[in-house]
Amino acid sequence: MAKQIWKGGALLAPLPAVLITSGDMENSNIATVAWTGIVNTIPPKTYISLRKSRYSYELIEKSREFVINLTTAEMVRKVDYCGIYTGRKVDKFQKCGFTKEAASAVAAPLIGESPLSLECRVTDMTDLGTHVMLLADILATDVDETLVDADGKLNLSRAHLAAYAHGEYFALGKKIGSFGFSAKKKKKPVKKGK
Ligand SMILES: Cc1cc2nc3c(=O)[nH]c(=O)nc-3n(C[C@H](O)[C@H](O)[C@H](O)COP(=O)(O)O)c2cc1C
């Protein structure tokens, strides 16, 4: 495959486009974030990277808490809206018609329409240049119960999650494998009887 060599850039894709809720039940805000990920399993740790100019940054710097709300294909227009307008000027919960729900471990609210929310407490803040990386413990996870099967297994494929790749939104589509499937032995074909 012939390759062009470009200078280093923020081109990892796909990424989740999540909605970050901050503040508390009275004074809350929502902002869209794509610079996020998981960085440790036990204890469960995540990060978000925010520009200092964001209203969300101001709120989270004070409370040191936020919620990561996963987004779905159905929510994507509102996801884009929350990434364009600032909560300094508009109440994005009201404007988008999202349901504000109380979290269990943090003061910041959850978005009721999100299939999965991670309640986070900031442990470290690192100024990296354009963005400040907020490293956080995941204290609680709120899961839409319609996605939990009878055996207790979370079935996220039913959530129609949204993804973000180089300025464009996508709906997660067809399942093409599952963890460890490459190592599983293929079932022998059943021999037909004579
Ligand atoms: C898809 C998408 C991803 C974004 N990712 C980030 C991000 O990772 N970090 C960030 O600081 N801003 C990001 N933004 C921009 C903020 O969401 C935007 O500036 C928003 O208006 C901030 O809202 P606030 O001022 O109410 O906090 C993103 C916007 C979009 C549309």
| Domain CATH code at residue 133 | 2.30.110.10
| Residue 84 alpha carbon to ligand 1 centre in Å | 7
In ligand 1, the atom with minimum distance to the C-alpha of 169 is 1
> Above 90 in pLDDT, residue 192?
no
| Residue 81 alpha carbon to ligand 1 centre in Å | 10
Range of the domain at 59: 18-171
Question: Is pLDDT larger for residue 193 or for residue 154?
Answer: 154
In a domain, 193, yes or no: no
pLDDT tens column, 58-111: 999 999 999 999 999 999 999 999 999 999 999 999 999 999 999 999 999 999
| Residue 120 alpha carbon to ligand 1 centre in Å | 18
In a domain, 9, yes or no: no
Tell me how many domains the chain contains.
Answer: 1
Binding pocket residue ranges, ligand 1, CB within 6 Å:
17, 29, 31-35, 49-51, 54-56, 80, 83-87, 131, 164
In a domain, 71, yes or no: yes
Cβ neighbors of 165 (< 8 A, separation 6 or more) are 13, 14, 15
d(CA 91, CA 185): 53
Which of 12, 54, 62, 71 maximizes ligand 1 atoms within 8 Å of its Cβ, making it the mutation to test the pocket?
54
In a domain, 78, yes or no: yes
pLDDT tens column, 1-56: 999 999 999 999 999 999 999 999 999 999 999 999 999 999 999 999 999 999 99
